[in-house]
Amino acid sequence: MRPKKLTPDAHHNIHFFNEDCITGARKHIADNSVDLIITDPPYGINGNNLHLHYNRNESLVVDGYVEVPQSKYEQFSFDWIKEAERILKPGGAIYIISGYTNLYFILHALRQTKLKEVNHIIWKFSFGVFTRKKFVSSHYHILYYEKPGGSRTFNVESRFGLKEESDKGRSKNYCDREDVWGIPRQYKPRKIKNKNELPDDLLKKILQYSSNEGDLVCDFFLGGFSTARVAIGLNRNIVGFEISPSIFKQKIGEIEMIMPGELLSSLNVPTINNPKNQGKSWSREECVKLIERYDELKSEGKLKKDIMKTLQEEFKRGYWSIDKALKKGKNEIL
């Protein structure tokens, strides 16, 4: 929309271009200026029945969706991924959402850049198509890569504190950071939508871990503008491209209604209870007290895991600090 070339200092800016993302990026986005790219390119599956694997009701897909012919997919992937590499800041990250049909070409293009793989994530969704003679296809691939040369943002406790446990005693943080994500597609019955509109929960997760408020996020293939909508809602800056005039026209009005930061209150707030004495060195008296208390609890017949829990609370220190002090204390004091 605005012809100004984005620079690395662009702040609090929102720019959408009804253009091809490859020529558009060259024209509008400076080298090393973007913190995070989240994008899902067209899948190149026109002209066959592969869309059925992804359970798409094509009659409810917005008019004007531009596909890339299979014969051009390899060069197309290479060209836009080269642009993505150029505009990312060193330390910036890219998440590419892809089906398996043309995954090969995307991986091949990524390998011809300097971008480095961080994770290959499997996004498992619900509503795969029922089949009788084979397994049901119910996943997409998310390729998480970084541009080397800088410090990559990864907000490890942005959603769950490292010490938060589920009712079953499992670490919520660990589970949230496993590389298989079970996130349902957003159910929008009978609503006209773009192919593969990404669910808010998936976008929030990526944005929380891999960006901060005020960062510049880019989507090369805006489609239904989901990435843009959630990014603005979380107070990020955004630049994006959509080649289709009809989709662009339809969605641009909706996006203008979003208030920057309006989704921040919907985020899960982590409980971060860092022990009060974390990082302080142990005095001799404290060590003696710790060993006495350990022996006392043990003589009561308590299990090691319960003893450690009690000691963490009483001595306001983490598990490993107590474990180390017990071993060291027993060797050096007793």
Ligand X SMILES: C[S@@+](CC[C@H](N)C(=O)[O-])C[C@H]1O[C@@H](n2cnc3c(N)ncnc32)[C@H](O)[C@@H]1O
Q: Are the CB atoms for 127 and 140 separated by under 8 Å?
A: no
Q: Does 196 engage in binding with ligand X (CB under 6 A)? A: yes
Q: Does 248 engage in binding with ligand X (CB under 6 A)? A: no
Q: Are the CB atoms for 216 and 91 separated by under 8 Å?
A: no
Q: Are the CB atoms for 162 and 173 separated by under 8 Å?
A: yes
Burial class (CB in 10 A: 0-12, 13-18, 19+), 114: exposed
Structure tokens at 177: 């950071």
Q: Does 164 engage in binding with ligand X (CB under 6 A)? A: no
CB of 203 to ligand X, least distance (A): 8
CB of 118 to ligand X, least distance (A): 20
Beta-strand relationship, 237-241 and 180-182: unpaired
Q: Does 77 engage in binding with ligand X (CB under 6 A)? A: no
Distance of alpha carbon 205 from alpha carbon 114, whole angstroms: 25
In the complex with ligand X, which residue's Cβ is closer, 80 or 160? 80
302 strand-pairing partners: none
Of 77, 102, 173, 244, the one binding ligand X (CB under 6 A) is: 244
Structure tokens at 274: 């860092």
CB of 201 to ligand X, least distance (A): 13
Q: Does 210 engage in binding with ligand X (CB under 6 A)? A: no
Q: Does 230 engage in binding with ligand X (CB under 6 A)? A: no
Q: Are the CB atoms for 186 and 197 separated by under 8 Å?
A: yes
Distance of alpha carbon 27 from alpha carbon 11, whole angstroms: 19
Q: Does 20 engage in binding with ligand X (CB under 6 A)? A: yes
Q: Does 233 engage in binding with ligand X (CB under 6 A)? A: no
Give the max Cα distance, the chain.
79
In the complex with ligand X, which residue's Cβ is closer, 222 or 322? 222
CB of 236 to ligand X, least distance (A): 16
Number of residues that bind ligand X (CB under 6 A): 22
In the complex with ligand X, which residue's Cβ is closer, 77 or 321? 77
Of 52, 66, 103, 107, the one binding ligand X (CB under 6 A) is: 66
Q: Does 240 engage in binding with ligand X (CB under 6 A)? A: no
| Residue type at position 78 | F
The piece of 139-147, 205-213, 241-249, 306-314 that touches ligand X (CB under 6 A) is 241-249
The piece of 65-73, 144-152, 170-178, 254-262 that touches ligand X (CB under 6 A) is 65-73
CB of 66 to ligand X, least distance (A): 4
What residues numbered 260-279 form the site for ligand X, per CB under 6 A?
none
Q: Does 99 engage in binding with ligand X (CB under 6 A)? A: no
Structure tokens at 201: 């929960």
136 strand-pairing partners: none
Q: Are the CB atoms for 38 and 203 separated by under 8 Å?
A: yes
Q: Is the dihedral of CA 293, 294, 296, 302 positive or negative?
A: positive
In the complex with ligand X, which residue's Cβ is closer, 99 or 270? 99
Distance of alpha carbon 96 from alpha carbon 196, whole angstroms: 13
Q: Are the CB atoms for 211 and 153 separated by under 8 Å?
A: yes
Closest residue to ligand X, Cβ-based?
A: 223
Of 44, 99, 224, 233, the one binding ligand X (CB under 6 A) is: 224
What residues numbered 109-128 form the site for ligand X, per CB under 6 A?
none
Q: List residues near ligand X by CB under 6 A.
A: 20-21, 40, 42, 65-66, 68, 194-198, 221, 223-224, 226-227, 241-244, 247
